[in-house]
Amino acid sequence: MTTRRNLMTGAAAVGGAAAIGGTGAVGYRAWRDREPASPPATDSGGRLLWRNWSGIQSAYPRDRAAPSTEDELATVLKTAPGPIRPVGAGHSFMPLVPTAGTLLTLDRMGGLFDHDPVALTARVSAGMRLGDLGPALAAIGQEMPNLPDINKQSIGGALGTATHGTGKGLKAIHGEVQSFRLATARGEILDCDADHHPEIFNAARVNLGAFGVVTQVVLKNRPLTRVHKRVVLRDLNDACDDWEHLKATNRNVEFYAIPFTGKAAVITANVTNAAVKPRGADTDSAVLMDLKRLRDLFGWSPHLRRWIAVQALGSTPPEDMVDEGWKLLSNERPVRFNEMEFHLPQEAQIPVLKEVVAAIEAHRNDVFFPIEVRTIEADDAWLSPFYQRPSGSVAVHAYYKDDYKFLFKLIEPIFRRHGGRPHWGKLNSLRAADFKALYPRWTDAMEVRASLDPDGRFLNAYLKKALIDAQQDV
């Protein structure tokens, strides 16, 4: 996202802010900016509230468990009240975590255990946060091949939901897993890789926390490198036309289509030996809030809103930074949102993006968050959205104070019409029958899951619908 900070200066230049900034407009904006209501801190039984990052998922678990060893974990899995749901940073927007049973965290179960400097592998705790793993790997001369936009997630959560970054030939995080240890509902600890329990390895690399609890992961990494990251503001149509060239000529590439502006922020990252040029303080959040204020002031007139944005952003210079990849590929995202992201056949990505932008600009003048466009390599994990299909993702965001339910009616049908598979942790309305039609090895994966957890101790209400029977009453 661009770091230009003159959007509201441009708005003031047209003299419109004063004209529409009277008491009524201010009151309307204040109502719109009200903080969403929070559930009570405790329920009638005194159980403490758990809530996800964006605030739309919550629960009052009966028990909370934080084992420090695999033996302690095994005891929890055999004896704790179900459903047992593992939780990391709570960055999923889907109801994967909520449970009235046991909420389980692996935060006390270690960090980076060991590594192989020749094979460039590292064995890490599934509870370790990506933001902590970056510097830990850098200290041993390694880095993950790719990183998601946000690095607050736990390794286990990232694997469980098929979290990904972007780039030429680069897989999602689970695609670089060499092996993992899985604690089952019976308290067994299984070492899984391509040769040992291969069916579990294939089925549970993307697992939704429904097969068991992944405790440790061996990641295949790369030598630590320095990258040159560049942010360039371009016309959206030009970015779309140039997308195939951008993908072919950059290691990492993505762009953000900015609704109601006709602009896109194109972001590339490539290996370099240039001197370090740190990224500096976060300015993306300030620009995002400028886009919000532009929406608040001129949302009633899409043409004026666009004209102001074009005038303000037209001379934005490129932004360049150089540093180790783990410092640049992920970003701080303190402004909360809700998100829907689908992964599409690559040939459908740009047509879908154009259709999504057109739908938003025709029907939802409240949207101001940029729309993220990324590319992901195929892999062979059975429940991976990228299973045997190189994919292009399109992600639509809604400010956490704004309505997000329009995503299901306006945006999701576009994604589904073009064969999209949803990000497991992001908003979607699909159920078991839908997923079965999208995943060639769905039945095989569900058979493995049932064999590992025959009593459904890891299944909350949502997962019963998503994995077993879309019609059953839960």
Residues 268, 409, single domain; the answer is yes
- Residue 181, beta-bridge partner list: 191, 216
Residue 136 lies in a domain: yes
CATH of the domain at 175: 3.30.465.10
Residue 235 lies in a domain: yes
Q: Which two tokens mark 288?
A: 């995002």
How does pLDDT run along the chain (474 residues), one tens digit per residue?
Answer: 444 445 544 544 444 443 444 445 555 566 678 899 999 999 999 999 999 999 999 999 999 999 999 999 999 999 999 999 999 999 999 999 999 999 999 999 989 999 999 999 999 999 999 999 999 999 999 999 999 999 999 999 999 999 999 999 999 999 999 999 999 999 999 999 999 999 999 999 999 999 999 999 999 999 999 999 999 999 999 999 999 999 999 999 999 999 999 999 999 999 999 999 999 888 899 999 999 999 999 999 999 999 999 998 888 899 999 999 999 999 989 999 999 999 999 999 999 999 999 999 999 999 999 999 999 999 999 999 999 999 999 999 999 999 999 999 999 999 999 999 999 999 999 999 999 999 999 999 999 999 999 999 999 999 999 999 744 433
Residues 176, 277, single domain; the answer is no
For residue 176, the 8-state DSSP code is G
Handedness of CA 61, 65, 71, 75 (dihedral sign): negative
Residues 57, 122, single domain; the answer is yes
Residue 21 lies in a domain: no
**Spatial contact of 148 and 129, defined as CB atoms under 8 Å apart:** no
Residue 197 lies in a domain: yes
Q: State the DSSP H helix or E strand holding residue 203, giving kind and residue range, or none if neither.
A: helix 198-204
Residues 278, 351, single domain; the answer is yes
Residues 450, 343, single domain; the answer is no
Residues 120, 246, single domain; the answer is no
Q: What is the number of structural domains in the chain?
A: 2
Residues 233, 192, single domain; the answer is no
| Predicted TM-score (pTM) of this structure | 0.94
Residues 471, 365, single domain; the answer is no
Residue 376 lies in a domain: yes
Q: Where among 384, 407, 422 does a domain terminate?
A: 422
Domain span at residue 390 reads 226-422
CATH of the domain at 269: 3.40.462.10
Residues 473, 331, single domain; the answer is no
Residues 334, 444, single domain; the answer is no
Residues 203, 78, single domain; the answer is yes
Rounded Cα distance between 126 and 205, Å, is 12
Residues 274, 401, single domain; the answer is yes
Residues 6+ apart with CB under 8 A from 450: none
Residue 83: cis peptide before it, omega within 30 degrees of 0 = yes
Residue 410 lies in a domain: yes
CB atoms within 10 A of CB 119: 11
| Furthest-apart CA atoms within the chain: distance in Å | 70
